[in-house]
Every structure is written in structure tokens, then in C-alpha cells.
């Protein structure tokens, strides 16, 4: 089926964008991002998990709306700083979340006094050794997790993430003994999580606050993590964020009552804020049949959008006919240009090629892949020596703005001119 174009894009706008900026092209819509932010306003802090989309212009847009930021690498910290985020406490505009601290990151968080959300006890020791009194969050693995794929489940014993829940007292003891300052408790059990699982996290969080309280430790803030899903498939349910906030507000209320102090409530979404704001535009370069399968080959591959190849993820698609003529539907397998069989945008988790009805494509048409604002450009690679695609931001009536120019092959070669 030809899904109708998202983001109020018209076929003409798609034509203008590809003619001006070329393909493959990432396009984002600022209004959609702002809308998603507003939906989460009830939380004290909305912290954007920038791994979903780390372009500094998107980060600036977030900061202008009062959204704080999570960084998971030295590079992401430098991006946040470049976008104008102020490091340090008490505002905690940037928090660094990880399970390891490499030397460069350790020096950086110590220099800027960026709070560290620690997923391992070793991180606490390493931090305390160089930065006395450093503010830390503890990221706990509650012993269960969930996600749209096993690869995005970040809880339970198969996950490397977070401090295992039975180690909580040991971690608190390290915080106390090494003179670190407890800034908050954090849990993130996975990405693309269903509602029932998301709700379990609140109960687990309350248990932790009780255990900290029993040891005489105050928990000033709690984070619900990210994980909120979006309806990639037509008709899939949308997360009821008001209800979700209500669950966490109740956790916060009980934590406040227990401790006799205010408790700050954070949420840390990536996908929810940006996924639906983005599309990937590509051009149809070949159509061919292989036995029962009709292949539509476009000029974007999994080096651009990795999600289908990595998780069997579903993305809706629309075809924009270059001649603007109506086309009959045809079951099509949509694939990219890479020299690899897994370079297919319509596939299931095990790599099974799946055909879906699309208007009969012709060379020169444009394919619009929907909901690629999260984990699209940020997961791209240079595989097959393909330069990173350009990114464009649409903002109301303003002219489309190039927010990342297309990389060149020469830039790749320059790295090797040693
Ligand atoms: N907080 C932490 C500590 C995380 O590890 C993540 C995602 C998030 C927040 C944001 O999760 P979100 O709200 O976006 O679900 N590449 C995968 C998703 C991997 C997410 C990793 N961590 C995908 O394309 O679905």
C-alpha cells in the first residue's frame, strides 16, 4: 500500500528536496519534534537520549524547548557542548550514561563536572579516583527487561547494562565510602517497550528508594528512562503518555512521602521525541524480478538505515512517482545498493525477505521511508565506502535548512592519507 506522505509533506516538496539536496536524504520536521516534547511536559525534566538523533541542530532545537540531554560517549558530550548545553551541576543539562568510562571520557566528565549515570561499580571507583565529590546517578538493572527486539532489551541477566539489582547496596556503599554524591536512580529496561513492562519499572524503582532509605541515603531524583514506542505500523497503538506520567507521578509521590523531601522526576526518551519527525528519501535506480520476487532497488542502503537489517524493523513507505501518474499496486521487495544480501528494507527479524504492496515503481521515482528520525542517521556507516547522507530540517514556512552536508568520498580517503 502506498502510505500517505507523513509530516504534511506534499509530493511537490519531496521533488523539490531531492532535486535541491540529492539522495539519499534525511529530512526532519521541527514542528513534529516540538509536538512530542509538549506531550511530555508533565515530567520535571525531559532528557533527550541523543543517540537517537545527535545532529547538533536537533540538539539546539531540543535545548530551545528546555529539553536536557543524555550523552553516552565522549563524542556525544562534545556534541551537547557544541549545541550550547551547559555542563555541570545543579542544572545537570548534560548527564553521561554508560557502563564503562574510557580515559578521554573520564577526563572530560571530570573537567566539566558532568554527572555520570553509572552502569557499573567499576565506573564509580574510576570516577572517585579523579573527581572527588562527583555527582552520580546509579543505573540499575532490575532483573527484567523488554524491547521491540532482543537487541534492544536492556534489562535481565542477558543484558550488559546497569548495575545488577542485588548489587545495589554494594554500589551505594561505594558511593558513600568514596565520597561521591548520589544525584538519582535510573532504570531503562529497553527500547520499544510495551505498556505493561514499562509499568513494572515504577514498582522496581520504589523498591530501590526504600532500600536506599533503609541505609539512611536520600534519593533526590528518579529517572523513568526511555523506551516509549511509536506506532511504526499503521493502526499500532500509541503510548498513552498521560497515563504513563500518572504511574510515575505516583512512584514519585510515594518516594517523597517516604523520604520527607521533594523528588525530581525525569524521563529519557530518544525514539518518542524524534522518530516520527523524520523520513529518508531515496531514488529508485533499478527494478527487476527474481523468480517470485519483484525487487525495487533504491540508492539508500543499510549503511543509511540499519534498522530493518539489524532488527527486522518495519518502516512504512510511500512511492512518489516521477511522472505523477497513478500506478497499479505491485508486491515489491525494497532493497538498497550495497553488495550484501541483507541490504533489504522490507524484511523480518530473521532476515526473511518480505514483499509488500507498493505502487509499481519505475526508475527515477522516489521512495519515502517513514519514521526514520530516530536511529536513522545516527546509526549510519560508511560501509561500501558510501559517504554519509545529507540532513535537512523543515520548520514551518521557513525554507528547508541543510543541517548536515553530504560527506564526500575524498573525506574518507583523507583519513587514510597518513
Ligand atoms: N536511555 C538509555 C540509557 C538508553 O540506553 C536508551 C536507548 C534510551 C534512553 C532511549 O531509548 P528510546 O526511548 O529511544 O527507546 N537502535 C535501536 C534502539 C537502541 C536503543 C539503545 N538505548 C533501534 O533502532 O530501535
Residue ranges of the binding site for pyridoxal 5'-phosphate: 227, 268-271, 375
Distance CA 26, CA 38 (A): 24
**Ligand 1 in contact with 227 (CB < 6 A)?**
yes
pLDDT of 198 strictly over 90: no
**Ligand 1 in contact with 278 (CB < 6 A)?**
no
Name the residue among 65, 138, 42 with its Cα closest to residue 95.
138
**What band does 233 get if pLDDT is binned at 50, 70 and 90?**
very high
**Ligand 1 in contact with 271 (CB < 6 A)?**
yes
CA angle 233-223-146, nearest 5°? Answer: 40
pLDDT of 373 strictly over 70: yes
Question: Catalytic: 108?
Answer: no
What integer is the mean pLDDT of 267-271?
A: 98
**What is the number of the ligand 1 atom nearest to the C-alpha of 270?**
14
**Ligand 1 in contact with 268 (CB < 6 A)?**
yes
**Which residue blocks in 159-300 are alpha helix, DSSP H?**
168-177, 195-214, 241-259, 271-274
Looking at residue 3, its pLDDT comes to 79
**CATH code reported for the domain at 14-24+275-415:** 2.40.37.10
Looking at residue 155, its pLDDT comes to 82
Q: What is the dihedral sign for C-alpha 67, 71, 76, 80?
A: positive
Which residue is closest in CA terms to ligand 1's atom 19?
152
Q: Supply the mean pLDDT for the chain.
A: 95
pLDDT of 128 strictly over 70: yes
**What is the number of the ligand 1 atom nearest to the C-alpha of 97?**
3
Domain with CATH 3.20.20.10 in the chain: 41-268
Per-residue pLDDT reduced to its tens digit, 135-147: 999 999 998 888 7
**Ligand 1 in contact with 49 (CB < 6 A)?**
yes
Fold of 41-268: TIM Barrel (3.20.20)
Domain with CATH 2.40.37.10 in the chain: 14-24+275-415
First and final C-alpha spacing in the chain: 50
Looking at residue 196, its pLDDT comes to 77
**What is the number of the ligand 1 atom nearest to the C-alpha of 148?**
25
Instruction: Pick the more confident residue, 144 or 415.
Output: 415
Per-residue pLDDT reduced to its tens digit, 169-193: 999 999 999 999 999 999 998 877 7
Per-residue pLDDT reduced to its tens digit, 87-121: 998 999 999 999 999 999 999 999 999 999 999 99
CA neighbours closer than 13 Å in the CB half-sphere of residue 48 = 33
**Ligand 1 in contact with 52 (CB < 6 A)?**
yes
C-alpha cell at 141: 538493572
**Ligand 1 in contact with 147 (CB < 6 A)?**
no
Looking at residue 256, its pLDDT comes to 98
Per-residue pLDDT reduced to its tens digit, 276-320: 999 999 999 999 999 999 999 999 999 999 999 999 999 999 999
**Ligand 1 in contact with 146 (CB < 6 A)?**
no
Per-residue pLDDT reduced to its tens digit, 308-352: 999 999 999 999 999 989 999 999 999 999 999 999 999 988 889
Q: Could you write out the DSSP letters of every residue in 135-192?
A: EEEEEEE-S----SSGGGB--STT---SEEGGGHHHHHHHHHHTT-EEEEEE---BSS
What is the pTM for the complete model shown? 0.97
Q: How far is the CA of 190 from the centre of ligand 1 (A)?
A: 7
Per-residue pLDDT reduced to its tens digit, 20-61: 999 999 999 999 999 999 999 999 999 999 999 999 999 999
Q: How far is the CA of 187 from the centre of ligand 1 (A)?
A: 12
pLDDT of 1 strictly over 70: no
Looking at residue 192, its pLDDT comes to 74
Looking at residue 194, its pLDDT comes to 74
Looking at residue 200, its pLDDT comes to 84
Q: How far is the CA of 189 from the centre of ligand 1 (A)?
A: 9
Using most ligand atoms within 8 A of CB, pick from 37, 46, 47, 49 the residue to mutate for ligand 1. Answer: 49
Q: What does residue 201 show for φ and ψ, rounded to 5 degrees?
A: -65, -35
pLDDT of 2 strictly over 80: no
**Ligand 1 in contact with 140 (CB < 6 A)?**
no
Residue ranges of the binding site: 227, 268-271, 307, 311, 340, 375
**What is the number of the ligand 1 atom nearest to the C-alpha of 275?**
14
Q: How far is the CA of 71 from the centre of ligand 1 (A)?
A: 12
% of the chain at pLDDT higher than 90: 88
Residue ranges of the binding site for substrate: 271, 307, 311, 340, 375
Instruction: Tell me which of 149-158, 238-247, 251-260 is least confident.
Output: 149-158
Looking at residue 287, its pLDDT comes to 98
Looking at residue 74, its pLDDT comes to 98
Give the Å distances, CA to CA, from 233 to 29, 91, 182, 230, 386.
20, 38, 41, 9, 29
Secondary-structure breakdown of the chain: helix, strand, coil percentages, each rounded to the nearest 5: 35, 25, 45
Catalytic-labelled residue, pool 324, 339, 417, 418: 339
Amino acid at each position: 500500500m502506498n502510505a500517505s506522505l507523513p509530516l504534511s509533506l506534499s509530493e511537490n516538496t519531496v521533488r523539490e528536496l531531492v532535486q535541491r539536496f540529492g539522495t539519499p536524504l534525511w529530512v526532519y520536521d521541527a514542528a513534529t519534534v516540538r509536538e512530542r516534547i509538549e506531550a511530555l511536559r508533565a515530567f520535571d525534566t525531559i532528557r533527550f537520549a541523543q543517540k537517537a538523533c545527535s545532529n547538533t541542530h536537533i540538539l539546539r532545537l531540543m535545548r530551545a524547548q528546555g529539553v536536557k540531554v543524555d550523552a553516552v560517549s565522549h563524542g556525544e558530550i562534545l556534541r551537547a557542548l557544541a549545541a550550547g548545553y551547559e555542563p555541570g551541576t545543579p542544572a545537570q543539562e548534560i548527564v553521561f550514561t554508560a557502563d564503562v568510562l574510557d580515559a578521554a571520557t573520564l577526563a572530560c566528565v571530570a573537567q566539566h563536572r558532568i554527572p555520570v549515570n553509572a552502569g557499573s561499580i567499576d565506573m564509580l571507583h574510576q570516577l572517585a579516583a579523579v573527581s572527588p565529590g562527583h555527582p552520580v546517578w546509579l543505573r540499575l538493572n532490575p532483573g527484567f527487561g523488554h524491547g521491540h527486539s532482543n537487541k534492544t532489551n536492556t534489562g535481565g541477566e542477558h543484558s550488559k547494562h546497569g548495575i545488577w539489582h542485588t548489587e545495589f547496596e554494594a554500589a551505594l556503599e561505594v558511593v558513600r565510602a568514596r565520597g561521591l554524591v548520589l544525584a538519582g536512580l535510573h532504570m531503562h529496561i529497553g527500547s520499544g517497550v510495551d505498556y505493561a513492562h514499562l509499568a513494572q519499572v515504577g514498582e522496581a524503582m520504589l523498591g530501590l528508594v526504600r532500600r536506599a532509605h533503609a541505609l539512611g541515603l536520600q534519593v533526590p531524583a528518579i529517572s523513568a528512562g526511555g523506551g516509549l514506542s511509536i506506532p511504526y505500523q499503521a493502526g499500532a497503538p500509541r503510548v498513552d503518555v498521560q497515563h504513563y506520567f500518572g504511574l510515575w507521578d505516583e512512584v514519585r509521590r510515594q518516594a517523597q512521602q517516604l523520604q520527607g523531601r521533594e523528588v525530581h522526576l525525569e524521563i529519557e526518551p530518544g525514539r518518542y521525541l524524534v522518530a516520527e519527525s523524520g523520513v529518508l528519501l531515496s531514488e529508485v535506480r533499478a527494478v527487476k524480478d527474481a523468480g517470485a520476487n519483484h525487487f525495487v532497488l533504491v540508492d539508500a542502503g543499510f549503511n543509511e538505515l540499519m534498522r530493518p537489517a539489524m532488527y527486522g524493523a518495519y518502516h512504512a513507505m510511500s512511492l512518489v512517482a516521477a511522472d505523477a501518474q497513478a500506478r497499479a499496486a505491485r508486491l515489491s521487495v525494497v532493497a538498497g545498493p550495497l553488495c550484501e544480501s541483507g541490504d533489504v528494507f522490507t524484511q523480518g527479524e530473521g532476515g526473511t525477505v518480505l514483499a509488500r504492496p507498493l505502487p509499481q515503481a519505475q526508475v527515477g521515482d522516489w521512495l519515502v521511508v517513514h519514521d526514520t528520525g530516530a536511529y536513522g542517521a545516527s546509526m549510519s556507516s560508511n560501509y561500501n565506502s558510501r559517504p554519509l547522507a545529507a540532513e535537512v530540517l523543515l520548520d514551518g514556512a521557513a525554507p528547508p535548512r541543510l543541517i548536515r552536508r553530504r560527506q564526500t568520498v575524498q573525506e574518507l580517503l583523507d583519513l587514510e592519507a597518513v
